[in-house]
Structure 1
Amino acid sequence: MTRFLGVDLAWAEGSASKPAKESGLACIDESGRVIDAGWARGTDAVMRWIDSLWEPGAVLAVDAPLVVDNLTGMRLCERETGSRYGSWYVSANASNLGRPWQGGVAIRRRLEASGWTYTDGLTPIDPATPRFFECYPYTTLVGAAEFGYLDKRPRYKRMGTSLPPDERREARAVVCDDLIQRIWRLTRASPPLDLGSHPVSDALVTEPSPLVDRPYKHREDLIDALLCAWTASLWWHGGTDRCQVLGARDDVAVLGRRPTIIAPARPEQRRTVEGARLVTAPGTSAP
């Protein structure tokens, strides 16, 4: 049964004087069972976790810029995130070689050295080959109808400054608990995700979201990792019937790799791209 891994990667690699922030980790299978879930700190620890769950045909979705070769500005996939999902209050941060955080690039290199293949979502890959791609959880939340966010993304990360800090944290926790209930309902979705199948993910449901910033961020990272893993499953099951490839028109960049984001999408979030190919769901592709 195929495994789907999700990593909400801390973009900065950290150093001896300043350790990396936590990365959220999650792995599910085709039935939606959560095989493992938790956190790791630093590229080495993230890679050890990924290696422990490696299997032929595994699919890994990473929330971090993986292919970056532009000196300044934004990558095309990031600009298209804003143009196609902006009406749902979703946009992307700019990634370029001038930015100090390159954790995604580092993890891509480590993954490729370990036998994983980067996919831009456009070129078919042998089903037995473990592959990984870049994703963005906000596009999953507004692009997959299962979550029910029809007009805008949930504000479970930053609530803005219109409320006093204490009220802001309370409002954030309410939004987060509502999001968790929506994820919980994926038990009956296709593809499924069963939060109750692992004690770490089950705690998201059985325990209220904390108000204190650090434990709240701990929870947020796990939520995003689970969304990444479910996005990997959605792409494997549905291909471009359920997802679109942002940055598909971009030039091939680093050593033949194209910087793209594979993003769940509803019809109104798509654009017709001349010459773009429809991608068969990887899970249904013939060997």
Structure 2
Amino acid sequence: MKFIGVDLGWKSQPSGLCCLELVAGKLKLVDLERKDAIADILTWIDAWVEANQPALIAVDAPTLIPNPTGSRLPDKLTHKYFGKYHAGCYPANQNLPFAERTINFGLELESRGFAHAPEITAQTPGRYQIEVFPHPAIVNLFGLERILKYKKGRISERRLELIKLYQYIVEILPKFEPVLCLGNLLTDKIPYTGAELKATEDKLDSLICAYVAAYWWYWGEQRNLVLGDRTTGYIVIPKSVLSYEC
């Protein structure tokens, strides 16, 4: 079973891509990439997940947007449950500029047999896709009191927050179940310039997405929250795992 994380660029910016593979009960990091065009992202996915091969794809973008205006139910629920952590998500509706791009990406995945999975039977092979949101996932996975603010602000401050995220990934995720084995694909060199820092951010976000995909498939609703549903749009978020794992 493979787990794909897509930190999708909502407009025309590049997207972070991660592929994890479950081998002998452990997650192996097999690729960590960044692509610009949607066509290139889909080609990358097709290369790693052949036709009829089981995989779960976790996308950090609203791929289901039923509402013409306002906010979706899952968007509102992130503010309700994670607002105190500064982890409420951006509202999505059909009239916003990014909507066509993100909706069509979900449809492209559906055309490849990746069905939306706001409900799942744990550890059942198949071809699935889910929407995820790294900020609340990071808060719950690592037991934080607020999000890591590596997306906005001065480059020096963003870099320090990104270093924290890297350290949490390499020190904590290998202690969870399923175990994450990072190998040598993930560099510990966090860059200093804005463009390179953004590239690293995209890749680390995609790794979090892929791990959330694996965690959802492995544990299902036992250790995950689902905000919304197939009709309203939904976001899958791990429950706070420190009480289970550490």
User: d(CA) in 2 for partners of 1:223 and 1:243?
Assistant: 21
Runs (5+) with no aligned partner, structure 1: 13-19, 160-167, 268-287
Q: Give the residue type in structure 2 aligned to 1:6.
A: G
Picking from 196, 206, 215, the partner of 1:225 is 206
2:10 equivalent in structure 1: 11
1:115 equivalent in structure 2: 113
User: d(CA) in 2 for partners of 1:171 and 1:113?
Assistant: 41
The answer as to 2:40 corresponding to 1:45 is yes
> Which of the two has greater strand per residue?
2
1:64–1:135: 8 Å Cα contact kept in structure 2? yes
2:157 equivalent in structure 1: 171
Q: How many residues align?
A: 234
Alignment of 1:54-93 (within 5 A): 54-55=49-50, 56-93=53-90
Cα deviation digits, residues 54-81 of structure 1 (max 9, x gap): 1532111000001012111100000001
2:122–2:219: 8 Å Cα contact kept in structure 1? no
The answer as to 2:236 corresponding to 1:262 is yes
1:280 equivalent in structure 2: none
Task: Give, in angstroms, the shift of residue 217 of structure 1.
Answer: 0.6
2:56–2:114: 8 Å Cα contact kept in structure 1? no
1:68–1:105: 8 Å Cα contact kept in structure 2? yes
Larger radius of gyration: 1
2:21–2:27: 8 Å Cα contact kept in structure 1? yes
Tell me the C-alpha RMSD between the 2 structures. 1.9
1:71–1:91 Cα change, 3 Å = same
Picking from 212, 217, 221, the partner of 1:236 is 217
User: d(CA) in 2 for partners of 1:115 and 1:175?
Assistant: 37
User: d(CA) in 2 for partners of 1:125 and 1:34?
Assistant: 21
TM-score, normalised with respect to structure 1: 0.77
User: d(CA) in 2 for partners of 1:113 and 1:172?
Assistant: 38
1:126–1:247 Cα change, 3 Å = same
Q: Percent identity?
A: 29
Q: Give the residue type in structure 1 aligned to 2:7.
A: D
Task: Extract structure 1 runs of 4+ deviating beyond 6 A.
Answer: none
1:88–1:152: 8 Å Cα contact kept in structure 2? yes
1:58–1:130: 8 Å Cα contact kept in structure 2? yes
Picking from 183, 187, 191, the partner of 2:178 is 191
User: d(CA) in 2 for partners of 1:169 and 1:116?
Assistant: 37
1:75–1:96: 8 Å Cα contact kept in structure 2? yes
Aligned to 2:20, the other structure's residue is in SS state strand
